[in-house]
Structure 1
Amino acid sequence: MTSATTMTTVLPAQHRERLMALAREVSFEAGTRLFEEGRRADRFWIVRTGTVALDLHVPGRRRAVIETLGHGELIGWSWHYPPYLWQLGAEAMSPVRAYEFDAAPVRAMCEEDPEFGRAIAFWVGLVVAQRLHSSRVRLLDLYAPYGSGGLG
């Protein structure tokens, strides 16, 4: 993910402050699965330190790592869109410290304050678009006869 989609570059300060008021600090050991594709998405994280790999289940093969996330990046967007099921999996690649958010109160704040909701939706939408692009490129690199062909 590029720095152009981190919370600090997308969300106005007043919305960042409101969101961060709901954060709690958590830690994950290397190798910890944060979530699995297809399961209920009820929380999300912002990485403080460490790295997290986003992966995709590929039948008959090991998980395909789509992207690696680090400092300031959003882990998880599926919490924001019904049916609230993870579209990817995630695993801590190193010890990770992160801010964790319960999705229900954040969604409630989005409904109560349309300006806040639009800002969050814009931020999460940018992340979704970037992840879709990364997924496409990575899967072409792994499985297409000629790779992604360097399409950026």
Structure 2
Amino acid sequence: MRISELAKATGVDLETIRYYEKQGLLPAPEREENGYRSYTGEHLERLSFIRHCRALDIPLADVRRLVAFIASPAEDCGDINLLIDQQIARVKARLKSMRALEKQLSQLRARCDERHHGKECGILHELVAAAHGEACACHAESP
């Protein structure tokens, strides 16, 4: 199959497929006589695997490690478990950060609970104050 067919089958952008090839995550395909790349079912499977890993927000370096494990099925999977544990820790850290961001935005939103002219908007006042280096509601210390 051609690269456009592979892209359509996997939902992966053409440039991303080329990037994965350059990075060695996806093996280089054979070339047809006319110079077109010719992808196989193995490429489709590998690209689908990579796409799934990326959907789980697994970094490419870790995807590379997982691909290496696929090539060595007799290896102990302890490192795979560790890799996923590390990904879980990254996700938990991001969730904590996102909850803090939500709290900050809610505190900021509480500064303007009805419609006003811009000059009377509590949100804008807080943002401008912060831009001037003053304390703002969204970064106030919690009791």
Per the TM superposition, whether the score is higher than 0.5 is no
Q: TM-score, length-normalised on structure 1?
A: 0.28
Instruction: Point out which structure has higher relative CO (alpha carbons under 8 A, 6+ apart).
Output: 1
